[in-house]
Amino acid sequence: MIGDALRMIRVFHDLSQKNAAEKLGIAPSFLSEIEKGKKKPTLDLLQRYACEFKMPVSSIMFFSEEMANPSKSEKLRLTISSKVLSLLQMVAAKAGREVA
């Protein structure tokens, strides 16, 4: 889920993977693998996202919780994060931004 959140942050700021990768100091192919969930971002990279997009790392981490056996509060957090991601996708689509 962290890959989805990072992709939506990038899309919301109207950046291509190439432009975002340049700003973050990583290869576009590495960013693509993170967004697809094939690789996990380091804490250092999350900090770079936070600085670049002016948001706390904790907000980014909110989307990244992986839950094996979610408790009630964790289920609620997962539901909320899914709704927020859906809302960001809808906003991006209405703004004519590609979510790929």
CATH number, position 81: 1.10.260.40
Res. 69 pLDDT band, cuts 50 70 90: very low
| 9 inside domain | yes
Domain count across the chain:
1
| 99 inside domain | no
pLDDT for position 71: 65
More confident residue, 48 or 88: 48
More confident residue, 7 or 77: 7
Q: How far apart are CA 10 and CA 20, in angstroms?
A: 7
Residue 46: CA atoms inside 13 Å, Cβ hemisphere, count? Answer: 16
pLDDT of 34 above 90: yes
Which residue range forms the structural domain that includes residue 73?
A: 2-94
Q: How far apart are CA 25 and CA 7, in angstroms?
A: 16
| 20 inside domain | yes
